[in-house]
C-alpha cells in the first residue's frame, strides 16, 4: 500500500516541495517498518510471559522451528498462548481501524466504536446471554455470548445507518444518535443487572472489562478473516477517505461522493468493531487512541494512516497484554483495564506535547 513510484527523468532536479514529499514518504515507510518490528518484539514478549516463562530466544526458536522445541513448549506457545497473543493484534488492529475511519468519515476526534454505541450494543447482547441464557439466534452454547454481542452491535450499526439515511441528517447528528444509543444500552444493561443473579452480574461486569483469555484459534481466524477482507476495501477508497478530512464540500469538488462513501465505510467498520468486541468484550480505549497516535506519527494520508492505525492499535493491545501479565505476577488483569490505565496517560502525554492541532 505504501509502495510508490519515484522514478523521474534523469537529471531532473526535484522541486523543493517534491523533495520534501519524498522524504516524508520515506520517513513514513520507516515508521511503519519500525511499528512492524515493535509489534513482532511485543508478540514475542507476550508469548514468553506466563506461568511457564521462556526466553525470547526460545520463543523465536519455537516460532521458526516448532519441531525442534520440547512438546510442552510447543503446546504452551502454539496452542495456549499464540491464539491469545495473535488475537490481541487482530482485535487491536480492528478496533483502531474502526475508530480511525469513524473519526475520518464523521470528522470527529471522539468518534470510535464506543461513540456510536456499537460497543454498548455488543455489551447488551452479551449481557442477555450471560445473565438470562438468551440466545438471539440458536447456536452452540460456547458461541451464545459472542454471537449475541455481534448481532446487537450490527443491529446498532444498521439502526444508525438507517437513521442517517433520513434527509437532513448531518455527521453531528450521527454522533448524537450514537451517544443516544450508548445511553439506551447502558440503561438496558443496568436493568439486566438489577434483575440478574449476583453471579450473573459478576459475569457481565467481567465481560465488559474485556479479556483476551476468551480467544481461541477459530475465533482468531474469524476475526483475522474479517480484518483481511475489510482492509483492502477501505484501502481502495484511500484517496477519497483522505479527501473526506478536508470537509464534504472539498471532497465533492474532488469527485468524492461523501454520503455514499460514509455509509459504506460505516458498515465496514461496524463489522470490524462488532467482531472484535464480540470475541473479547469491550476494550474501548484502542479505537479512540490508536488512530490519534497514528495521525501524530504518520499524518492523514490514508496510504500510511490506515496501516499505521492498524499497527498502532495492534501494538497498544499487545503491549497491554504484556503488562496485564506482569503487573501482578500470576494474575492476568482484564486487558480493558490495562489499556485505559497505562494507555491514557501515554496518550495525554502525546496530545499535550504535540505542537500541531489537527481538529
Partner 1 sequence: MVTLQLNHVSARYGRHPIVQDITTPCFQGGQVVALLGPNAAGKSTLFRRILGLLKGEGEVAISGTNAERPVAYMPQETGAKAVLTVYESVLLARMQGRSLKVQAADLAQVDRALSELNISALGERDIGDLSGGQRQLVSAAQALVQEPDILMLDEPTSALDLNRQINLLGVLRRLADERNMLIMVALHDLGHALRFADAAMMLENGRLIACGPTADVITPTLLRQVYRVEARIEPCSKGRLQLIVEEAV
Per rule CB under 8 A, is residue 232 in the interface with partner 1?
Answer: no
Closest CA to 95 of 226, 192, 183: 226
Name which position in 253, 326, 348, 349 contacts partner 1 (CB under 8 A): 253
CA–CA distance, 36 with 156 (Å, rounded to integer): 33
CA–CA distance, 143 with 131 (Å, rounded to integer): 15
Name which position in 39, 256, 272, 314 contacts partner 1 (CB under 8 A): 256
Query: By CB neighbour count within 10 A (0-12 exposed, 13-18 middle, 19+ buried), where does 199 fall?
Result: exposed
346, containing H or E segment: helix 335-353
Q: Select from 64-72, 77-85, 130-138, 245-253 the region that touches partner 1 (CB under 8 A).
A: 245-253
Tell me the HSE value of 142 on the side-chain side, using a 13 A CA sphere.
Answer: 5
Cβ at position 45, least distance to partner 1 in Å: 31
CB 338 within 8 A of CB 324: yes
Per rule CB under 8 A, is residue 31 in the interface with partner 1?
Answer: no
Name which position in 42, 96, 101, 107 contacts partner 1 (CB under 8 A): 107
Name which position in 205, 238, 267, 333 contacts partner 1 (CB under 8 A): 238
CA–CA distance, 38 with 35 (Å, rounded to integer): 5
CA–CA distance, 179 with 181 (Å, rounded to integer): 5
Please identify, using beta-carbon distances, which residue of 43 and 243 lies nearer to partner 1.
243
Cβ at position 347, least distance to partner 1 in Å: 17
CA–CA distance, 182 with 114 (Å, rounded to integer): 8
Q: Which residue has the cell 500510511?
A: 304
Name which position in 180, 254, 326, 344 contacts partner 1 (CB under 8 A): 254
Binding mask of the shown chain, residues 152 to 191, with x at each position contacting partner 1 by CB under 8 A: ---------------x------------------------
Name which position in 138, 255, 329, 330 contacts partner 1 (CB under 8 A): 255
Q: Select from 121-129, 198-206, 218-226, 252-260 the region that touches partner 1 (CB under 8 A).
A: 252-260
CB 245 within 8 A of CB 301: no
Q: Which residue has the cell 464534504?
A: 248
Please identify, using beta-carbon distances, which residue of 262 and 295 lies nearer to partner 1.
295
Per rule CB under 8 A, is residue 3 in the interface with partner 1?
Answer: yes
Contacts with partner 1, residue ranges (CB under 8 A): 1, 3-9, 15-18, 20-21, 24, 107, 167, 235, 238-240, 242-243, 245-247, 249-256, 295, 299-301, 303, 356-359
Amino acid at each position: 500500500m505504501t509502495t510508490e513510484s519515484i522514478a523521474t527523468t534523469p537529471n531532473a532536479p526535484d522541486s523543493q516541495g517534491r523533495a520534501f514529499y519524498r522524504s516524508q514518504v520515506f520517513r513514513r515507510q520507516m515508521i511503519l517498518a519500525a511499528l512492524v518490528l515493535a509489534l513482532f518484539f511485543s508478540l514475542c514478549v507476550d508469548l514468553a510471559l506466563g506461568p511457564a516463562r521462556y526466553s525470547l530466544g526460545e520463543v523465536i526458536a519455537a516460532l521458526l522451528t516448532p519441531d525442534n522445541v520440547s512438546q510442552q513448549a510447543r503446546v504452551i506457545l502454539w496452542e495456549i498462548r499464540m491464539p491469545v497473543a495473535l488475537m490481541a493484534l487482530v482485535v487491536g488492529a480492528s478496533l483502531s481501524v474502526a475508530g480511525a475511519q469513524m473519526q475520518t468519515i464523521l470528522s470527529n476526534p471522539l468518534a470510535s466504536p464506543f461513540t456510536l454505541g456499537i460497543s454498548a450494543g455488543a455489551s447488551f447482547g452479551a449481557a442477555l446471554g450471560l445473565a438470562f441464557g438468551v440466545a438471539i439466534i440458536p447456536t452452540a452454547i460456547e458461541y451464545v455470548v459472542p454471537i449475541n454481542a455481534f448481532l446487537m452491535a450490527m443491529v446498532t450499526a444498521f439502526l444508525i445507518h438507517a437513521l442517517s439515511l433520513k434527509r437532513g441528517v448531518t455527521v453531528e447528528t450521527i454522533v448524537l444518535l450514537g451517544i443516544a444509543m450508548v445511553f439506551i444500552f447502558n440503561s438496558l444493561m443496568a436493568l439486566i443487572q438489577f434483575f440478574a443473579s449476583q453471579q450473573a452480574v459478576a459475569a457481565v461486569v467481567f465481560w465488559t472489562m474485556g479479556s483476551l483469555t476468551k480467544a481461541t484459534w477459530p475465533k482468531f481466524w474469524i476475526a483475522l478473516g474479517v480484518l483481511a477482507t475489510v482492509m483492502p476495501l477501505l484501502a481502495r477508497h484511500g484517496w477519497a477517505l483522505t479527501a473526506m478530512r478536508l470537509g464534504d464540500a472539498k471532497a465533492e469538488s474532488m469527485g468524492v461522493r461523501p454520503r455514499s462513501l460514509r455509509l459504506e465505510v460505516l458498515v465496514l467498520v461496524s463489522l470490524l468493531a462488532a467482531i472484535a468486541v464480540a470475541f473479547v468484550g469491550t476494550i474501548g480505549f484502542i479505537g479512540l487512541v490508536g488512530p490519534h497516535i497514528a495521525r501524530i506519527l504518520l499524518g492523514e494520508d490514508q496510504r500510511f494512516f490506515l496501516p499505521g492505525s492498524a499497527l498502532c492499535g495492534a501494538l497498544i493491545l499487545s503491549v497491554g497484554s504484556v503488562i496485564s501479565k506482569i503487573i501482578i505476577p500470576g494474575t492476568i488483569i482484564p486487558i480493558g483495564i490495562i489499556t485505559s490505565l497505562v494507555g491514557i496517560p501515554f496518550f495525554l502525554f502525546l496530545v499535550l506535547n504535540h505542537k500541531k492541532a489537527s481538529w
